[in-house]
Structure 1
């Protein structure tokens, strides 16, 4: 028993002789652009024995890649298309130097491109001057040429503006001038862009009294649903039209006839001898 007491007292004595170690507590004390600042142990006399250090984690800077400006491209077909599009915007024949300075296409650097442009169906090549010009569907050089073309095609229901767009670089200006002069009629899209062009026959431009103009503008066009009824009331018949299928309408498939093989059993002919019962009597 005395031996146990001596061991206990000796253990307590050794425990009391051990140095006291204070536990370091890490807490954030501030926030900066590169992350919060934390406190740790190991002696800073101005900070109550604690050392200040920054977080090792830094914000990642997001980098976005931007596509490089490749210009007209380096592929032979891209260069050919770029050259043809440039020729559409000008009305005069262009030399090799014009294509390089204005169109950004160097034909001298690519002999293959020179030959492709010269042999293209939409390009007219002058062997004497060595110039290139766009070959449009309709040859229009001014507004008078446009007016003559529309007069020639007056019985064909007008001409689509898109068909003429590549024929003349100043086509829109010519259309606006002729329309303001009353020499052509223009059907426009909702955005005001020309859609269909008609030649205006001046012989049918008769004077109209203001009284009749007011009556005309006061007339109300019936809605599409009420139009057949209004025509019937006036003793007129309407033309039958076929409804166009909408984009969401799915056409019904016709049922496919399948030839199914059927096993036929002539049970009613069982036991019948055809060689005896159906022999033709001579």
Structure 2
């Protein structure tokens, strides 16, 4: 009877009861929307080698490093093949050829116009033992040569200098840490004389006094002045300059006006 009292459209206006959640839906984890998921972190690595580079000065650097490692004459075509520069890239090829043949002292590419070849140009044009001895003999002074500068264009310089040293043709200063040659000088083997064994024995038999004061007393006893003697203080007082006496008298002038001017010579001090 109660249902009969309801209007026909009243049932549609009543909210439908919500369904009872099941055990599976109640315990399930709330799903995340696709846009809520954080993207995975992207790890950026170092850029990979993409070629020899397009910049002409980058190509020049690659050329110098390649010529330094090979230490031999190369044609322009061989260098272009190493740099992987196309034959139709006339602008880059022309620019590089101009840089290779530049007379700038800082240019590290040596050009041979006889056969149009190129090689690395080190600081010193020394690549073997004969060139080293010639350079040391022709220099005006007896200055040594840094082995580090020679290694730039002479990879086996350490072994070759050791060979010259064994022949007593050069004098070598070595590093204390690794015994590698540091500086090299020219030497004359004819001036190298073998010392007598008796002289060596006598030389090493002379021992210095263990106490420095004993050595000082022996020098004083022999009438020698030891280097540890105090220096005598020298006077640094400047010499007094003599003052010049004022000049008296002198040649008189205006004698034709003596009758007019008054004489004040008696008032001079």
TM-score computed with the length of structure 1 as normaliser:
0.50
TM-superposed CA distance for 1:70, in Å, is 4.5
Aligned pair partner of 1:104 in 80, 83, 90: 83
Using CA pairs below 8 Å that are at least 6 residues apart, which structure has the higher relative contact order? 2
Aligned-residue RMSD, C-alpha: 4.5
1:75 paired residue number: 55
1:114 paired residue number: 97
Aligned pair partner of 1:92 in 57, 72, 78: 72
Decide whether the 8 Å contact of 1:150 with 1:199 is kept in 2. Answer: yes
1:188 paired residue number: 174
| Residue 50 to residue 137, structure 1, CA distance change in 2 (3 Å) | closer
Distance 2:23 2:206 in 1: 96
| Residue 91 to residue 107, structure 1, CA distance change in 2 (3 Å) | farther
1:124 paired residue number: 110
Distance 1:149 1:194 in 2: 18
TM-superposed CA distance for 1:156, in Å, is 2.4
The alignment covers a number of residue pairs equal to 191
Decide whether the 8 Å contact of 1:185 with 1:198 is kept in 2. Answer: yes
Judging by fraction of residues, say which structure has more strand: 1
Aligned pair partner of 2:189 in 185, 190, 202: 202
| Residue 142 to residue 217, structure 1, CA distance change in 2 (3 Å) | farther
Decide whether the 8 Å contact of 1:125 with 1:133 is kept in 2. Answer: yes
Q: Helix, strand or coil for the counterpart of 1:73?
A: coil
1:164-183 equivalences in 2 (<5 Å): 164-183=150-169
TM-score computed with the length of structure 2 as normaliser:
0.52
Q: Helix, strand or coil for the counterpart of 2:83?
A: coil
1:272 paired residue number: none
